[in-house]
C-alpha cells in the first residue's frame, strides 16, 4: 500500500481478513499509523478524543496481523514496468500487486500575509494540535471557507468558547454541496450558536501585528479582526507519484481507473481521495469522491480485486458531518438535482431528496437516518418517483418504489 491513510489501511485490513498470505507493506509519510481524519475537526479538535481514539486499528494490531507499517517514509518513485517502488529510506521494494492511496493535500491560498503566524490549514493530527494550542489564548478566530472544514471547525471552536466568523465566496454555508435551501438550514444552526457568517465575499489579504495575523481583509473591504485563522478551501488529489510514472489522469484531476479500481497497469489499484473510478451506478461515468466512507470501502474493493474476485466498486457514496453536538447530517449518493424536502427545515427534522428529472440522485438527512435506506434503494433502482410523493409525509417511503 502506498499511502498510510484510511484507503491504504482498509485495503491491508481486508487482505488479511480475506486470508491473503503474501507479505503486506504499508508505507506512509506521516508520523502516525493510519488514523481517521473526521475527528480532527470535531471531537479531537475539542480535546474530547485522544490520538489513540482516532487510530484505524490499535498500534499493535498491524504487527499482530503481519502487516508491516513504515511511518515517516515516502514512496519516491514508482516503476510499473519493473514493479518496484523506491522509498525515502533508499530501500527498493518489489511488489506483485500494489495500491496507490496517496490521498489529497490541502489547497493553499496565495495571498498577501498568507504565511503569517496564526494561519492554519487542517489535514493531519499535527495541524489539529497546532490549532488547539494556538486558539488557547485566542478570542476571535476567522474561518476562510464555508464548506465542511470551515463549518465544523467554527462549531468546534465556538463550543470551546471562541468567537468565530466564517468568510466565504458562497452566499450560504455548504451551498455548493447541498444548495442554498439546505445550506441555509446549517447556517441557521451556526448563527443560532453565535457564529458570524460573512457570505458573498472573498479573502483579499491577511493583516499582521508583530508577524502574527491580526485581521482578515476581504475583497468587499471588510476587516475581520482575529487572533487566529483556519483556512478550509478544499483539497487537491495527490497524484505526484502517478504523474511521475505516466499513469492516466482523469478529468477530475485524480488517477483514472476502471470500475474494479484497477489502473491501466494490471495489478496496480487506486483507492480514496485521488481515485477517479468508473461508477457502474452512474452509467460508467468517472467519479472522484473525497469522503471517509468511500476511502474505506474503496480500499476494501481494491483488496478483493487484488485477490482476483473481479468485483466492481458499486457502493453508494456515504458522507456525514457534525456541527459540534448541535446538529448532525448524513448524506448518500452523488450528483446534483433539485432538493425535495420531506419534513421540516424549521424543526431540524427533514430529509432532502435530490431529484434530477424524477430520478433520486442523492439524499441528505437530519434526524431521519432511516430514510437513507429508502434513498439508497431509489438511487440504485434509478427510475422515476414523483417529487410530490417524496415530499408527502402521508406516503410511506417503503411503499414508494422506483422499480
Ligand atoms: C479535518 C477533516 C475532517 C473530515 N471529516 C469528514 C467527515 O466528517 N466525513 C467524511 O465523509 N469525510 C471527512 N473527511 C474526509 C476523509 O477524511 C477523507 O476522504 C479520507 O481521509 C481520505 O482517505 P485517503 O486514504 O484517500 O487519503 P488520506 O487520508 O489523505 O491518506 C493518504 C496518505 O498517504 C500519504 N502519502 C501521500 N503520498 C505519499 C507518498 N508518496 N509516500 C508515502 N505516503 C504518502 C499522505 O501523507 C497521507 O497520510 C475529513 C477530512 C479532514 C481532513
DSSP 214-281: EEEEETTS-EEE-SEEEE---EEE--HHHHHTTPPB-TTSSEEE-TTSB-SSTTEEE-STTEEEE-GG
Residue 27 Cβ inside 6 Å of ligand 1? The answer reads yes
C-alpha angle 302-305-309 in degrees, rounded to nearest 5 = 145
Residue 39 Cβ inside 6 Å of ligand 1? The answer reads no
Q: What is the percent of the chain with per-residue pLDDT over 70, rounded to a whole number?
A: 99
Torsion of Cα atoms, 168 then 169 then 170 then 175, to 10°: -60
Nearest ligand 1 atom to alpha carbon 105: 30
Residue 299 Cβ inside 6 Å of ligand 1? The answer reads no
Nearest ligand 1 atom to alpha carbon 9: 25
Residue 250 Cβ inside 6 Å of ligand 1? The answer reads no
Distance of CA 378 to the CA centre of its chain: 24
- Residue 87 DSSP SS3: strand
C-alpha R_g of the chain: 22
> In 3D, which of 49, 323, 45, 35 has the Cα closest to residue 190?
323
Q: Rounded to whole angstroms, how far apart are CA atoms 350 and 335?
A: 19
Burial class (CB in 10 A: 0-12, 13-18, 19+), 299: buried
The pLDDT of residue 48: 98
- Closest protein CA for atom 9 of ligand 1: 320
- First-to-last alpha carbon distance for the chain, in angstroms, is 40
> In 3D, which of 217, 236, 235, 238 has the Cα closest to residue 226?
217
pLDDT tens figures, 47-91: 999 999 999 999 999 999 999 999 999 999 999 999 999 999 999
Is the backbone of residue 336 left (phi > 0), alpha (psi -120 to 50) or beta? beta
The pLDDT of residue 120: 98
The pLDDT of residue 188: 98
Q: Rounded to whole angstroms, how far apart are CA atoms 282 and 277?
A: 11
Asked if the model's pLDDT at residue 225 lies above 90, the reply is yes
Give the contacts of 19 (CB within 8 A, at least 6 positions apart).
none
Answering whether pTM is above 0.85, one says yes
- Closest protein CA for atom 42 of ligand 1: 74
| Beta-sheet pairing, 140-144 with 163-167 | parallel
The pLDDT of residue 293: 98
The pLDDT of residue 335: 77
Q: Rounded to whole angstroms, how far apart are CA atoms 56 and 50?
A: 13
What cell does 388 get?
410530490
**Residue among 38, 123, 143 to mutate when testing ligand 1 (max atoms within 8 A of CB):** 38
Residue 33 Cβ inside 6 Å of ligand 1? The answer reads no
Asked if the model's pLDDT at residue 402 lies above 60, the reply is no
What mean pLDDT is predicted for residues 112-136? 98
- Closest protein CA for atom 7 of ligand 1: 38
pLDDT tens figures, 268-294: 999 999 999 999 998 899 999 999 999
pLDDT tens figures, 226-252: 999 999 999 999 999 999 999 999 999
- Closest protein CA for atom 5 of ligand 1: 38
pLDDT tens figures, 376-391: 999 999 878 999 999 9
What mean pLDDT is predicted for residues 330-350? 95
Asked if the model's pLDDT at residue 21 lies above 90, the reply is yes
CA of 359 to the centre of ligand 1 (A): 31
CA of 69 to the centre of ligand 1 (A): 17
Nearest ligand 1 atom to alpha carbon 241: 41
Asked if the model's pLDDT at residue 315 lies above 70, the reply is yes
What mean pLDDT is predicted for residues 87-104? 98
Residue 282 Cβ inside 6 Å of ligand 1? The answer reads no
Q: Specify the residue for cell string 497524484.
A: 239
Asked if the model's pLDDT at residue 357 lies above 90, the reply is no
Asked if the model's pLDDT at residue 400 lies above 80, the reply is yes
- Closest protein CA for atom 29 of ligand 1: 5
Asked if the model's pLDDT at residue 197 lies above 90, the reply is yes
Nearest ligand 1 atom to alpha carbon 76: 41
CA of 272 to the centre of ligand 1 (A): 8
CA of 143 to the centre of ligand 1 (A): 20
Sign of CA dihedral 282, 278, 19, 308: positive
Nearest ligand 1 atom to alpha carbon 298: 26
What mean pLDDT is predicted for residues 154-167? 98
- Residues 158/142, Cβ–Cβ less than 8 Å: no
What cell does 268 get?
496496480
Asked if the model's pLDDT at residue 150 lies above 90, the reply is yes
Reported as a pLDDT band with limits 50, 70 and 90, residue 403 is low
Q: Rounded to whole angstroms, how far apart are CA atoms 33 and 56?
A: 8
C-alpha angle 349-176-243 in degrees, rounded to nearest 5 = 130
- Closest protein CA for atom 52 of ligand 1: 37
Amino acid at each position: 500500500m502506498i499511502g498510510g491513510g484510511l484507503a491504504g489501511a482498509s485495503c491491508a485490513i481486508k487482505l488479511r481478513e480475506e486470508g491473503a498470505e503474501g507479505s503486506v507493506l504499508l508505507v506512509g509519510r506521516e508520523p502516525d499509523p493510519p488514523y481517521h481524519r473526521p475527528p480532527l475537526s470535531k471531537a479531537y479538535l475539542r480535546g474530547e478524543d485522544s490520538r489513540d481514539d482516532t487510530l484505524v486499528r490499535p498500534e499493535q494490531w498491524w504487527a499482530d496481523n503481519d502487516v508491516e507499517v513504515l511511518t515517516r517514509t515516502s514512496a519516491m518513485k514508482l516503476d510499473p514496468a519493473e514493479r518496484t517502488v523506491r522509498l525515502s529510506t533508499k530501500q527498493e521494494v518489489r511488489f506483485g500487486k500494489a495500491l496507490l492511496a496517496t490521498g489529497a493535500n490541502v489547497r493553499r491560498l496565495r495571498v498577501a500575509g498568507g504565511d503569517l503566524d496564526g494561519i492554519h490549514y487542517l489535514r493531519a493530527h499535527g495541524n489539529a494540535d497546532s490549532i488547539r494550542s494556538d486558539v488557547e489564548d485566542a478570542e476571535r478566530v476567522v474561518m476562510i471557507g464555508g464548506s465542511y472544514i470551515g463549518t465544523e471547525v467554527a462549531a468546534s471552536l465556538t463550543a470551546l468558547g471562541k468567537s468565530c466568523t466564517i468568510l466565504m465566496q458562497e452566499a450560504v454555508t455548504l451551498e455548493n454541496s447541498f444548495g442554498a435551501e439546505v445550506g441555509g438550514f446549517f447556517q441557521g444552526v451556526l448563527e443560532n450558536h453565535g457564529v458570524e457568517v460573512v457570505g458573498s465575499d472573498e479573502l483579499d489579504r491577511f493583516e499582521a501585528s508583530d508577524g502574527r495575523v491580526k485581521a482578515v481583509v476581504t475583497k468587499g473591504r471588510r476587516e475581520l479582526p482575529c487572533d487566529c485563522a483556519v483556512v478550509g478551501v478544499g483539497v487537491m488529489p495527490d497524484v505526484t507519484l502517478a504523474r511521475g510514472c505516466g499513469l492516466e489522469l482523469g478529468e477530475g484531476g485524480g488517477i483514472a481507473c476502471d470500475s474494479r479500481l484497477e489502473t491501466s497497469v494490471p495489478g496496480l489499484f487506486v483507492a480514496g481521495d485521488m481515485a477517479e473510478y468508473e461508477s457502474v451506478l452512474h452509467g460508467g461515468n468517472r467519479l472522484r469522491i473525497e469522503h471517509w466512507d468511500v476511502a474505506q470501502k474503496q480500499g476494501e474493493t481494491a483488496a478483493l480485486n487484488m485477490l482476483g474476485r473481479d468485483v466492481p466498486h458499486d457502493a453508494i457514496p456515504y458522507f456525514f458531518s457534525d456541527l459540534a453536538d448541535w446538529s448532525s447530517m448524513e448524506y448518500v449518493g452523488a450528483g446534483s438535482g433539485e432538493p425535495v424536502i420531506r419534513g421540516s427545515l424549521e424543526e431540524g427534522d427533514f430529509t432532502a431528496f435530490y431529484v434530477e428529472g424524477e430520478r433520486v440522485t442523492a439524499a441528505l438527512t437530519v434526524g431521519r437516518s432511516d430514510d437513507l435506506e429508502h434513498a439508497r434503494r431509489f438511487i440504485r433502482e434509478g427510475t422515476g418517483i414523483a417529487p410530490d410523493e417524496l415530499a408527502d409525509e402521508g406516503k410511506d417511503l417503503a411503499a414508494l418504489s422506483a422499480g
